[in-house]
Copies of this chain bind each other. A is one copy, B any other.
C-alpha cells in the first residue's frame, strides 16, 4: 500500500510496521461470519481472554455497558434453536422464486455444532460513565456494545476461531429463554468455534445473494 505511518508524536506508544499492517488487513479480509464449525472445544482460559480483549473496546463516557452471557445449558440452547428455526421459517416466507430457493439453501446459523454460544447484552440503565457523550445520541450506548462484539470477532480470528452472528431471533424470546434482567437489551447472539473452512469472501457474495458495492458509491464530499 506504500502509505507510511508518521513518526513524530511527542509521547509515542507502540508503532506498527508494514508487515503488521499487511497481516492486519488479512485479518479484516479473512474475518468471516461463520456458520459451519468443527466440534473441537475451546479452552476456557482462551475464551475468557477473548472476553477481556472485547472489553478493551471503546465505550461512550467509558460506560462499558456490555455484558457477556455464556449459554451452556441444553435447555437454554434448545430455546435459542427453536427461536431461530421459527424466525427462519417466517423469514423464508418473505421471498419467492429463485430468491426463496437460494434463501432456503443458505446455512444461516451454526447452533448445532458450535462449542460456544455467547450472547452480548447491553445494560440499558447503567449510570457508569455518568451519561457523558450520550445525551443527544443515546444510541451510542448500544453502539459501544457493538464495538465489543467486533473486537471479540477479530481477536477470535487471530486464534483461528470463527464467529457467527445469529440475528434471525426474536429478542424478547431470547431474553425469556435465558432468564435475562428486564433492563438488558440483546445486541448479538454469537456462535464461536473452529471453522470447518476459511474463506476470504462472504458466503452471501459467492453464493450470489448480494454484490459488493463500489467504494466510489459510498463516499460523498461536503
Q: Which of A's residues lie within 8 Å of B, judged by CB?
A: 1, 3-16, 20-21, 23-31, 33, 38, 40, 43, 45-46, 48-49, 51-53, 55-58, 60-64, 66-73, 76, 87, 90-91, 94-95, 99, 103, 108, 128-137, 139-140, 142-143, 146-147, 149-151, 153-155, 157-161, 165, 167-171, 178-179, 186-188, 194-200, 202, 204-205, 209-210, 212-213, 215, 218-222
Contacts and interface: CB of A to CB of B under 8 A. Distances in A.
A151 B218 contact: no
B58 A158 contact: no
A58 B210 CA distance: 13
Given A68-B220, A137-B169, A210-B129, A160 B199 contact: no
A210 B6 contact: no
5 interchain residue pairs of minimum CB distance: A13-B198, A11-B197, A5-B160, A62-B204, A62-B210
Given A62-B205, A150-B150, A160-B9, A69 B3 contact: no
A171 B137 contact: yes
Nearest to A2: B45
A31 B5 contact: no
B23 A27 contact: no
Given A58-B165, A150-B150, A218 B66 contact: yes
A16 B102 CA distance: 34
A11 B203 CA distance: 14
A136 B168 contact: yes
A218 B67 contact: yes
A222 B67 CA distance: 13
Contacts of A149: 147
Contact of A12 (B68, B87, B137, B198): B198
Contact of A10 (B63, B135, B197): B197
A95 B179 contact: no
